[in-house]
Amino acid sequence: MADRVTVAEAASILCVSVGAVRKRLQRGTLAGGKEGNTWYVLLRQDADRTPTGHQQDTNRTRQSATGHRQDATVGGDPARSLEVLQVELESARGLLALTEEQLAAAREEANFLRERITAQEAIIAQLAEAQTEAWRRRDVLEAQSRAALPAGRKRWWWPWGKA
């Protein structure tokens, strides 16, 4: 026997979020439909008249890492559940491979950037040394130019200045 309840009521009965109920309706793991502007979910009742998900077996649930209840079987059919789990496993493997590729690319880029930084630091050190040498040469040239000037009378800018 099935009870027709709203999405919010189904979420409360199944101990999941409203979004989870909507997603299950979308995937087809819960039966339901839209009447007017309201979505309804069809829940099956156990022998003890406790409502359960239409295509779920409440005796076969598991806890996820986040603590939410998840269906261990799809529609009570272990073969179909196995197929679904295999598809999910292949999807997870593909995602893992993609993540590993992205991680390898990020490591390569980090190594490249480390090499560039090392090269740029070496260039900066060379430039600092060159600047220090240039200042030293400037000081030497200034001293040489002062020594090369004749020591003579200084002329004042003003005509009434002292000579």
For residues 73 and 53, give the distance between their C-alpha atoms in angstroms, rounded to a whole number.
12
| Per-residue pLDDT tens digits for 79-114 | 667 878 888 888 889 889 999 999 999 999 999 999
Q: What is the pTM of this model?
A: 0.38
Quick one: tokens of 88?
Answer: 């999910």
pLDDT band at 63 (very low <50, low <70, confident <90, very high): very low
Quick one: tokens of 152?
Answer: 């003579």
